[in-house]
Amino acid sequence: MSEWTPDISRLREFDDEEWLRVERAFCGRLMAYVSRRVADAQAREDIVQEAFLGAVRGIDSFDPVYTFEQYLFGICRNRAIDHLRRRNAVGAGQPVDSSESLPGMDDLAVEEDTPSQVVHGTDLADQGHELLVGVLREWVQETWQQGEFKRLCVIEALFALGRRNRDVWEGFGLRDETAVAGIKFRALKRMRELALRRDSTGQLLGAMADATGDAQTRLDLDVARAWREGRVSCPARYWLARRDAGTLEEGPRSFVAFHLEETACSLCQANLDDLGQAREGDLDPLIERMRASTVQYLRSRAHGSADGA
Q: Which residues bind Zn ion (CB under 5 A)?
A: 234, 265, 267-268
Q: How far is the CB of 177 from Zn ion (least distance, A)?
A: 27
Residue (128 or 235) nearer to Zn ion, CB:
235
The smaller minimum CB distance to Zn ion, of residues 204 and 267, is found at 267
Residue 176: exposure state from Cβ atoms within 10 A (0-12, 13-18, ≥19):
exposed
Within 13 Å and on the Cβ side, how many CA atoms surround 261? 7
120 close to 63: Cβ distance less than 8 angstroms:
yes
- For the chain, count helices (H), then strands (E): 15, 0
Secondary structure of 137-157 in HEC code, one letter for each residue: HHHHHHHHHCCCHHHHHHHHH
Instruction: Read off φ and ψ for residue 219, nearest 5 degrees.
Output: -65, -40
CB of 148 to Zn ion, least distance (A): 19
Write down the least CB distance from residue 184 to Zn ion, Å. Answer: 21
Handedness of CA 224, 226, 232, 234 (dihedral sign): positive
Nearest approach, Cβ of 133 to Zn ion (angstroms)?
Answer: 14
Minimum CB distance to Zn ion smaller for 69 or for 199: 69
Q: Closest separation between CB of residue 6 and Zn ion, Å?
A: 20
Q: Are 155 and 183 in contact (CB under 8 A)?
A: yes
Give the shortest CB-271-to-Zn ion separation in angstroms. 8
Choose between 130 and 156: whose C-beta lies nearer to Zn ion: 156
Assign 82 to helix, strand or coil: helix
Q: Measured over all CA atoms, what is the biggest interatomic distance in the chain, rounded to whole angstroms?
A: 70
Nearer to Zn ion, 25 or 53 (CB): 25
Residue with Cβ nearer Zn ion (187 or 234): 234
